[in-house]
Amino acid sequence: MIGVFDSGFGGLSVFDKISKQSPDLNLIYLGDSERTPYGPRSKETIYEWSKQAIDFLFERGCQLIIIACHTASNSALRQLQQDYLPNSKYKGRKILGVTIPIVEEVVLQAKKRVGVLATRGSIKSNRFIEEIKSRNSKLEIFQVASPMLVSLIEEGYSDSVACKQFIKHYLKPLKNKQIDLLVPGCTHFPLIFDQLQKKSGKNIKVLNASQIVADKLKDYLSRHPELEFNNKLTGYREYLTTGDVDLFQEIGHRFLKTSFAAKKVVLKFKLI
């Protein structure tokens, strides 16, 4: 079983690509929509809440968990891999994020200047800059926080005039820097991928981030046949949320383009 965890809804874009790319995989999606968004939270809070979700999914039998939330991936993944996992009862299981697969593709495709659109939490972590620079120090990276886009997408206004205006607004400083590659560093952004391409112009390559993650996961699984779930594939799907089920299904439909039945779960909350 593979778990896909997100702070709310955006990770469904990654879940969707994985599901279509590898339909036989057994997948569970967990959205912590009760406490979304993670972007404005402290690093300590993001780590604690992510750990609660990881515990839950491991208890459900997941052998591999993908943190499909850029904020959590950038702020908490390293600590989860280095501190939490080795000292837990889940040794031998894996936790992966969405940042590194995208960074690896950036290094392959970028020419000189890279622009990153992301949440405030991801921008504050500087993880994109650190990881890209560690692989190619000559690349210049410019970041812009774009919090309004997440709200507009979740409320169903991804095609609205307001959303298009904010896309133009957030892209302007990056275009002024003459970037040649744009990283949509939020899992909500596949819903505005076409608009990002159009507004970026023909001289800027826009990465298809969710597809990149799905492709990298397929490659990862092919190189790790020892993972226990590889011989128990049935195409099982489960959708879980910590928030309102009806709202989760409504918003989730915009990402998956299909109806689905979700269940509400309660994580072991700890006040931060």
Would you please indicate which residues are annotated as catalytic (active-site) residues?
69, 186
- From its phi and psi, is residue 236 left (phi > 0), alpha (psi between -120 and 50) or beta? beta
Omega within 30 of 0 (cis) for the link into 37: yes
Residue 188 one-letter amino acid: H
Backbone φ and ψ for 14, nearest 5 degrees, come out as -70, -45
Q: What angle do CA 54, 248, 119 make, to 5 degrees?
A: 65
Q: How far is CA 149 from CA 60, 73, 102, in A?
A: 33, 19, 20
Helices (H) and strands (E) in the chain, counts: 12, 10
| Start-to-end CA span in the chain (Å) | 30
Please give the Cα distance from 190 to 9 (Å, whole number): 12
Please give the Cα distance from 95 to 114 (Å, whole number): 27
**Which residues are CB-neighbours of 172 under 8 A, at least 6 positions away?**
none
Contact (CB, 8 A) for 236 and 37: no
Residue 60 one-letter amino acid: R
